[in-house]
């Protein structure tokens, strides 16, 4: 009798909950989403809320017209993105120079600065910076699963001019035979290209320059910054700061292996491994000195130089937990994406043909279409791929990771410098970047002296979205929900970070 009474009492409540859950219409749901987007836009004064347009830049050198791109003729883009300039330029003024790099330059949007120039490069090595343009921070965006390109209100052209460069030689549309042996060779070639670029587009001379990039650009950007600082007469540009996201800065064992098992525990419901496998991973992590590395060695301030967990800079024999995790993740989720671990089946179509961790043959690849090549003055006889099959370092990159060499000098000579890391990135893991920073000495001290505070990165209109910490000219950001490509996966956060780097906001 009592049981029946309880059931009769609960039934009206359950019915109300059920009906209430069905009461939110699609229109109401959409209205809530629109309201959330409006809050973000309201706190983004430099972003274009609607419409297009650019600030006028007139280039007096007649050669500039050879590179002009009509913003109404970009294939599949159904609005006028405004004028831009793209094409190939050599890396030196030598008459017999055959090595050329492909660039695409955009002037600033209506709210952007005419006094600044952003340089962007993707990584790889050998991956095209046109990915950054099309799927991260360019004025039009065509990301995974999108049927058509859309306007990017978080475009960095709302901050200043930006040049996307396909480099080193062997990347994208670039021409010639790769011969770089190390990062100093690459830096010299980029500076040589920029000299030719500034000859044609001389009105850009004297601008404040900000170097930016992601992934293997963690190698490119610090070495390039160091090269420019150490060759002050080479460029008529004022290098002011740099931004590297999810960067290669140290050894593989540090940035991948040490933090891998902790990463799986943090996201255990995403990986969904069984307890037998988790026990095996924990045992290997303990045996290989990974398990308690952060607690023992990553202190604020550091107690001294941080040790390798074993003898190898990659992984000692039997200690490659990163690959074990990757293989197991693919078993559970065939669409597991090392660049953003939240992805699931089916793999979204990608106009650039490189969806996440997978190579999927797409047809046609956007930048390999003849009409696209014609619109942007790209060589029609070059087969474009997002990441080149050509070895851009024919004998390997002989440079040491920049945290041991040039990164401290680049930080010390910059007004501001930024390291960013997406917390959902598995190919390079944020805890590993923390280890690199705590092992590096710049401006007279090793590492950060005080701890990084949780929830300290507050994104306007969104709230706390990770952590940030500043000491001695270096600001470090961790961005929640973002994978490897922060401007793609968390564009509002990336935009705010660039605002800070460029001095458009005082605090991160």
Looking up residue 419, the CATH number of its domain turns out to be 3.40.50.1820
Whether residues 407 and 420 fall in one domain = yes
What is the pLDDT, as a whole number, of residue 47?
59
Does residue 189 form part of some domain? yes
What is the pLDDT, as a whole number, of residue 31?
81
Does residue 391 form part of some domain? no
What is the pLDDT, as a whole number, of residue 46?
67
Alpha helices in 24-152 (DSSP H): 26-42, 130-132
Does residue 6 form part of some domain? no
- Render the burial of 105-117: b for 16+ CB within 10 Å, e for the rest: bbbbbebbbeebb
Whether residues 86 and 186 fall in one domain = yes
- CA pair distance 167, 192, nearest whole angstrom: 12
Phi and psi torsions of 492, nearest 5°: -65, -40
Whether residues 233 and 299 fall in one domain = no
Whether residues 258 and 351 fall in one domain = yes
- CA pair distance 286, 309, nearest whole angstrom: 10
> How many domains would you assign to the chain?
2
Domain range enclosing 171: 62-251+398-501
Residues of the chain with pLDDT under 70: 1-23, 44-52, 355, 357, 359-360
Whether residues 88 and 157 fall in one domain = yes
Does residue 56 form part of some domain? no
Whether residues 301 and 158 fall in one domain = no
Helix axis angle, 258-266 to 321-332, nearest 10°: 30
Phi and psi torsions of 442, nearest 5°: -145, 150
Does residue 269 form part of some domain? yes
What is the pLDDT, as a whole number, of residue 316?
98
First-residue to last-residue Cα distance in the chain: 64
- Render the burial of 155-164: b for 16+ CB within 10 Å, e for the rest: bbbbbbbbbb
Is the backbone of residue 318 left (phi > 0), alpha (psi -120 to 50) or beta?
Answer: left
List active site positions.
Answer: 215, 425, 484
Residue that is last in its domain, among 365, 385, 406: 365
* Burial bucket for residue 193 (CB in 10 Å: 0-12, 13-18, 19+): buried
Does residue 38 form part of some domain? no
Q: Which two tokens stand for residue 261?
A: 């098992």
Whether residues 118 and 223 fall in one domain = yes
- CA pair distance 448, 430, nearest whole angstrom: 15
DSSP class per residue in 179-195: ---SHHHHHHHHHHHHH
- Render the burial of 89-99: b for 16+ CB within 10 Å, e for the rest: bbbeeeeeeeb
Whether residues 226 and 269 fall in one domain = no
Whether residues 69 and 218 fall in one domain = yes
What is the pLDDT, as a whole number, of residue 19?
46
What is the pLDDT, as a whole number, of residue 254?
98
- CA pair distance 204, 237, nearest whole angstrom: 8
Whether residues 278 and 196 fall in one domain = no
Q: Which residues contact 302 (CB under 8 A, 6 or more apart)?
A: 438, 439, 446, 447
Does residue 15 form part of some domain? no
Does residue 474 form part of some domain? yes
Q: Which two tokens stand for residue 384?
A: 């474009």
Whether residues 185 and 130 fall in one domain = yes
- CA pair distance 240, 417, nearest whole angstrom: 9
Whether residues 181 and 201 fall in one domain = yes
């Amino acid at each position: 009798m009592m049981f029946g009474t309880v059931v009769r009492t609960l039934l009206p409540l359950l019915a109300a909950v059920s009906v209430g859950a069905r009461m939110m219409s699609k229109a109401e749901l959409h209205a809530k989403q629109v309201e959330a987007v409006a809050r973000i836009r309201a706190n983004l004064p430099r972003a274009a809320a609607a419409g297009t347009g650019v600030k006028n830049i007139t280039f007096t050198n007649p050669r500039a017209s050879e590179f002009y791109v009509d913003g109404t003729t970009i294939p599949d883009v159904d609005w006028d993105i405004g004028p831009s300039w793209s094409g190939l330029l050599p890396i030196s003024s030598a008459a017999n120079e055959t090595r050329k790099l492909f660039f695409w330059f955009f002037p600033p949007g209506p709210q952007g600065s005419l006094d600044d120039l952003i340089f962007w490069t993707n990584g790889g090595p050998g991956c095209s910076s046109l990915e950054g343009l099309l799927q991260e921070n360019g004025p039009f965006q065509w990301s995974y699963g999108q049927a058509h390109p859309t306007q990017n209100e978080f475009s960095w052209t709302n901050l200043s001019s930006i040049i996307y460069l396909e480099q080193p030689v062997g990347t994208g549309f670039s021409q010639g035979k790769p011969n770089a042996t190390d990062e100093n060779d690459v830096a010299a070639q980029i500076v040589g290209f920029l000299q030719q670029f500034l000859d044609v587009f001389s009105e850009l001379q004297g601008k404040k320059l900000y170097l930016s990039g992601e992934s293997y650009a963690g190698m490119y950007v610090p070495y390039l910054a160091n090269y420019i600082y150490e060759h002050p007469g080479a460029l008529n540009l004022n290098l002011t700061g740099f931004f590297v996201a999810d960067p290669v800065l140290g050894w593989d064992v540090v940035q991948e292996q040490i933090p891998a098992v902790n990463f799986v525990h943090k996201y255990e419901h995403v990986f969904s491994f069984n307890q037998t496998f988790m026990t095996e991973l924990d045992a290997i992590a303990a045996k290989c000195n990974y398990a308690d590395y952060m607690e023992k060695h990553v202190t604020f301030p550091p107690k001294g130089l941080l040790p390798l967990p074993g003898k190898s800079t990659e992984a000692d024999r039997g200690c490659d937990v990163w690959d074990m995790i990757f293989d197991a993740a693919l078993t559970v989720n065939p669409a597991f994406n090392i660049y953003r671990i939240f992805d699931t089946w089916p793999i979204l179509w990608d106009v650039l043909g490189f969806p996440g961790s997978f190579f999927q043959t797409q047809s046609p690849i956007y930048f390999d279409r003849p009409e696209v090549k014609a619109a942007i003055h790209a060589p029609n006889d070059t087969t474009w791929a997002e990441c080149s099959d050509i070895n851009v370092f024919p004998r390997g990159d002989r440079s040491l990771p920049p945290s041991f060499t040039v990164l401290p000098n680049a930080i010390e000579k910059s007004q501001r410098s930024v390291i960013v890391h997406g917390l959902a990135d598995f190919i390079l893991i944020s805890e590993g970047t923390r280890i690199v920073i705590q092992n590096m000495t710049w401006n007279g001290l090793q590492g950060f002296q005080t701890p990084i505070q949780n929830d300290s990165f507050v994104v306007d209109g969104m709230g706390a979205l990770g952590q940030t910490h500043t000491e001695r000219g270096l600001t470090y950001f961790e961005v929640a929900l973002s994978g490897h490509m922060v401007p793609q996966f968390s564009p509002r956060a990336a935009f705010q970070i660039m605002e800070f780097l460029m001095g458009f906001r005082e605090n991160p």
